[in-house]
Amino acid sequence: MTRLFLYPNQRHQQTWYEPIVADKPYKDSLISNVENVDFLNLDLYTEHYKYIGLEIVSETVFDYYQPFVSEKTLRPIFNKRFFIILSGPGTLKLLQNLGFKTWNHIIDESYDNEKDYIKRYNLILKEIEKFCNKDINEVKNLVKNNKDMLEYNYTLLKNLEEKEIECLKSIL
Amino acid sequence: MKNVYLRSSYLEIIKQKYNILLHVSQTNFDLNFNEFEENIKSLKKEYFLPNERILIEITDTQAYDVYNKETKYGLLTRNIIDTFIEYDIPLFTMFIVTNNFYLREEINTIVPEQANNITVFFTLRGFSMYGGSSKFLDRPFCFDKIKKNCLTILGYDRLHRRALYQVLKNKKEKIAISYRKVDNKNF
C-alpha cells in the first residue's frame, strides 16, 4: 500500500541555517541575556516573563489550514502575559471556545480570521509594530489594568487538567 | 513504549477501563512509519476483546494534501487508519489522544461509516512535553519589573520563524529574542 508523507514542520532539519545564537551559556535571569536560553528544556514557567509585557508566540506551523496549539501558546497564559500568535487561522477562536480570554481591546486580532498566510503575517507584523511603539510605562499599565483577565486565563489553565480528566471519564 | 508523553493521571484512567495492547506517540514513528506498521502487524490476531485498545498520541503537526484542497485530513492520520484496515485490526481498538481539535472531523471524512468506532480524546494539558509537569503555584502577579515590550521564543528553525526573526532582530531594544542553539558543525 502506498503511504503519503510530507514533513511540514521539518523535524528532520532542526537547525538554523545561519549562526544567529550567541554560544555563551545562560548565567542569570537578566532579560538582556534571554537570547541564550534554551527554552525547550525549561518548564512552562520562567523568570523571564517578569520582564516583558507580551509574547509573540511562534507556533510550530504558520502556513497551516487549521488552528494549532502547543505548549508555546500555553506559556504566556501560564505566565500571565498578553500574546500574539503566529499559527494557523482560527487559533485565537479555538482558545476562546475553550474559555480563554484574548486581547482584542489591546491588539487587533482580526489577523486570526485571515486565511491567506502572507496577509496574516503582515497583519501580525503591524500589531507587533504598534505594541513595540508603546512606552514601557504604558505596557506596565496595560498589564496592571488587565490583571483580572490574565489571572482568569491562568486559573482556567490551572483547572484544565481536572476538566479534561472529567471529560475523559465521560467518554470511556 | 518509548517516548510516550501522556501523563500518568490521564493514562491510569484509560488503563482502568481498557487493556492497552500498544501505546505509541506520533513523534516515534512519523519519520519511520515502517516501525509503526510492524507494531500493528504484530498485534494481528483472530479476534479482539471489547476492552482492548491501541493508544496513539498525535501531538505534532502533519501534512495535508496540497494538491487537493478539498481533502481536509492529515496524511499521517490517513496512513494510520489505512494500516489498521490493511492488517484487519478493528477500528474500535484505536484510541487517539491528541491536541488537534479537529481530528474527529478528519476521521469522519476518512472513514465516515466507522468513525464512531474510533475514540478520540482532545487535551491540552495531557502531554508531559507540553508543560504537563509545571506546578501551578500561586505566583505573585508582577508588572513593575517589565523592561521590554515583547518576548519571542523562536526555537527550531522554521520558515515563518526565520522571516519573523529578520524583522524582529532590528527591534532588540524592544523585543527579547530567544532561538534554539545551532548544533550543526557546518556553521
The answer to whether the Cα torsion of B15, B18, B20, B26 is positive or negative is negative
Residue B61: Cβ-neighbour burial (10 angstroms; 0-12, 13-18, 19+): buried
Q: Say if residues B5 and B25 touch (Cβ distance below 8 Å).
A: yes
What percentage of chain A reaches a pLDDT higher than 90? Answer: 58
Give residue A25's domain range. 2-171
Top mean-pLDDT range of A33-42, A65-74, A95-104, B131-140: A95-104
How confident is the model over B138-156, as pLDDT tens digits?
677 889 989 889 988 877 7
The residue among B8, B60, B52, B71 whose CA lies nearest residue B29 is B60
A1, burial (CB in 10 Å: exposed 0-12, middle 13-18, buried 19+): exposed
Whether B141 is covered by a domain: the verdict is no
- Please tell me the total count of domains within chain B: 1
Residues of the domain holding B26: 8-133
pLDDT of residue A39: 47
- Residues forming a β-bridge with B121: B97
B157 falls within a domain: no
pLDDT of the residue at A108: 97
Put simply, whether B14 touches A (Cβ < 8 Å) is yes
Does residue B88 fall inside a structural domain?
Answer: yes
Cβ-count burial of A57 within 10 angstroms (0-12 exposed, 13-18 middle, 19+ buried)?
buried
A77 touches A54 (CB < 8 A): no
Q: At what angle do helices B159-168 and A117-132 cross, to 10 degrees?
A: 30
Q: Do A34 and B157 touch (CB under 8 A)?
A: no
Q: What is the pLDDT of residue B130?
A: 59
Total tally of structural domains belonging to chain A: 1
Contact B153 A75 (CB under 8 A): yes
Which amino acid does the sequence have at A110?
A: S
Which residue shows C-alpha cell 485571515?
A114
> Which 3 state secondary structure label does DSSP give A83?
strand
Q: Do A35 and B178 touch (CB under 8 A)?
A: yes
Q: How far is CA B153 from the centre of its chain?
A: 20
CB within 8 Å: B150 and A55: yes
User: At residue A63, does pLDDT exceed 60?
Assistant: yes
Residue A18 scores a pLDDT above 50: no
Torsion angle, alpha carbons of A13, B63, A2, B106, to 10: 150
Residue B22 lies inside a defined structural domain of this protein: yes
pLDDT of residue A23: 33
pTM of the model: 0.85
- For B81, the closest chain A residue by CA position comes to A3
Q: What is the ipTM of this complex?
A: 0.87
Amino acid residing at B43: L
* In chain A, % of residues over pLDDT 70: 73
pLDDT in tens, A118-155: 999 999 999 999 999 999 999 999 999 999 999 999 99
Q: Residue B66 contacts by C-beta under 8 Å, 6 or more apart in sequence?
A: A6
CA-based nearest residue to A83, from A99, A106, A63, A67: A106
Give B178 or A16, the one with higher predicted confidence.
B178
Q: Consecutive 10-residue runs of chain B (187 residues): their mean pLDDT?
A: 83 96 91 90 95 94 72 86 95 96 92 95 84 61 89 81 86 82 43
Smallest Cβ–Cβ distance between A31 and the set B125, B167, B176 belongs to: B176
Asked if B92 reaches chain A (Cβ–Cβ under 8 Å), the answer is: no
For cell 526573526, name the residue.
B165
Cα separation, B106 vs B62, in Å, equals: 12
Question: Which residues, including other chains, have CB under 8 Å from residue B152's CB and lie 6 or more apart?
Answer: A55, A56, A57, A58, B164, B168, B175, B176, B177, B178
CB pair distance less than 8 Å for A15 and B133: no
Question: Is residue B1 in some structural domain?
Answer: no
Candidate from B13, B75, B148 with C-beta closest to A31: B148
Contacts of B104 in chain A (CB under 8 A): none
Q: Dump pLDDT digits (tens) for A45-59.
A: 567 788 899 999 999
Report whether B27 contacts B59 (CB < 8 A).
Answer: yes
| Residue B98 lies inside a defined structural domain of this protein | yes
CA–CA dist A36, A22 (Å, integer):
6
Beta carbons of A124 and A86 less than 8 angstroms apart: yes
